């Protein structure tokens, strides 16, 4: 994608994105705290809607390309785009929550996978590897690196732990639009794609399968599951490229990232 299509944010825009990021991270934390056996995914969705309204924000996902929920709630083999509804969470589930908040003309976007009660050791390891792969990736989200350096680092770490990265869906730029240039794959060779510059704001989001990386979209045209039925996990933050270390924008006021 051409570099001139990538938005470099002004200081005013960065401040607006920090605010959107904080609200988004708080909504993610709220949803994560509600992941307990016996609750429905609709109840979590409604709580996030209420929280965002209280903060003066609106859910980025609600109505986006027709999506019916305020957040995506994806359980076990569901990678992304799970639709909130009557499904009841049960002990041992792993639950991915993807949240976006729009306020003052800008979006925040983040996700994390949470344990519902006691989960298997393998499920815990999958969650931990997925989160760590994000941090491995953004070690290369620095001035002068290339976009593909991020995905290469994610893939290398995930595969070294015996898991696989989804290839059909990618990270992206984020800002005045929920999805902006550039695309950020979680795989590939380093040294390709646009050069990373200060002022870029990116949503980096490893999506990881315990088995094979191939996925399929169900008949609702949203719910995306691992083709082999293996467990999946998702972790995402919106970040700002600076002259030094990248800044995570989707962080709560007390410094939490999940």
Q: Pick from 43, 29, 127, 47: which is nearest to 89 by CA?
A: 43
How many angstroms separate the Cα of 16 from the Cα of each of 79, 162, 178, 228, 249? 30, 39, 14, 41, 10
pLDDT at 242: 98
Q: Which residues of 88-106 are buried (b: 16+ CB within 10 A; e: fewer)?
A: ebeeebbbbbbbbbbbeeb
Cβ-based neighbours of 173, under 8 Å, separated by 6 or more: 6, 7, 179, 180, 181, 182, 184, 200, 201, 202, 203
Q: Is 223 helix (H, G, I), strand (E, B) or coil?
A: coil
pLDDT at 85: 98
What is the C-alpha radius of gyration for the chain, rounded to an integer number of angstroms?
Answer: 17
Are the CB atoms for 93 and 100 separated by under 8 Å? no
| Chosen CATH of 3-242 out of 1.10.3720.10, 3.30.1330.40, 3.40.1160.10, 3.90.230.10 | 3.90.230.10
Domain boundaries, the chain: 3-242
Q: What is the pLDDT along the chain (258 residues), one digit of tens a residue?
A: 333 489 999 999 999 999 999 999 999 999 999 999 999 999 999 999 999 999 999 999 999 999 999 999 999 999 999 999 999 999 999 999 999 999 999 999 999 999 999 999 999 999 999 999 999 999 999 999 999 999 999 999 999 999 999 999 999 999 999 999 999 999 999 999 999 999 999 999 999 999 999 999 999 999 999 999 999 999 999 999 999 999 999 999 998 888
- Give the global pTM: 0.96
pLDDT at 3: 39
């Amino acid at each position: 994608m051409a570099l001139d299509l990538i938005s470099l944010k002004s200081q005013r825009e960065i401040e607006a994105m920090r605010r959107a990021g904080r609200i988004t991270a708080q909504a993610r934390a709220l949803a994560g705290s509600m992941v307990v056996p016996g609750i429905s995914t609709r109840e979590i969705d409604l709580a996030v809607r209420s929280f965002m309204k209280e903060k003066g924000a609106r859910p980025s996902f609600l109505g986006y390309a027709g999506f019916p929920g305020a957040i995506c709630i994806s359980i076990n083999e569901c990678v992304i785009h799970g639709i909130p509804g009557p499904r009841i969470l049960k002990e041992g589930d792993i639950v991915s929550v993807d949240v976006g908040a729009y306020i003052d003309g800008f979006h925040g976007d983040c996700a994390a996978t949470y344990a519902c009660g006691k989960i298997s050791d393998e499920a815990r390891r999958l969650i931990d590897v997925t989160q760590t792969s994000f941090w491995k990736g953004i070690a290369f989200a620095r001035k002068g690196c290339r976009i593909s350096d991020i995905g290469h680092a994610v893939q290398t770490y995930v595969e070294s732990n015996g898991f696989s990265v989804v290839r059909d869906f990618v990270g992206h730029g984020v800002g005045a639009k929920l999805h902006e240039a550039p695309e950020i794959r979680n795989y590939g060779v380093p040294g390709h794609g646009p050069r990373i510059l200060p002022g870029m704001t990116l949503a980096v989001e490893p999506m990881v399968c315990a088995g094979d990386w191939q996925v399929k979209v169900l008949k609702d045209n949203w719910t995306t599951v691992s083709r082999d039925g293996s467990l999946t996990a998702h972790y995402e933050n919106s970040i700002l490229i600076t002259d030094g270390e990248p800044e995570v924008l989707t962080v709560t006021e007390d410094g939490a990232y999940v």
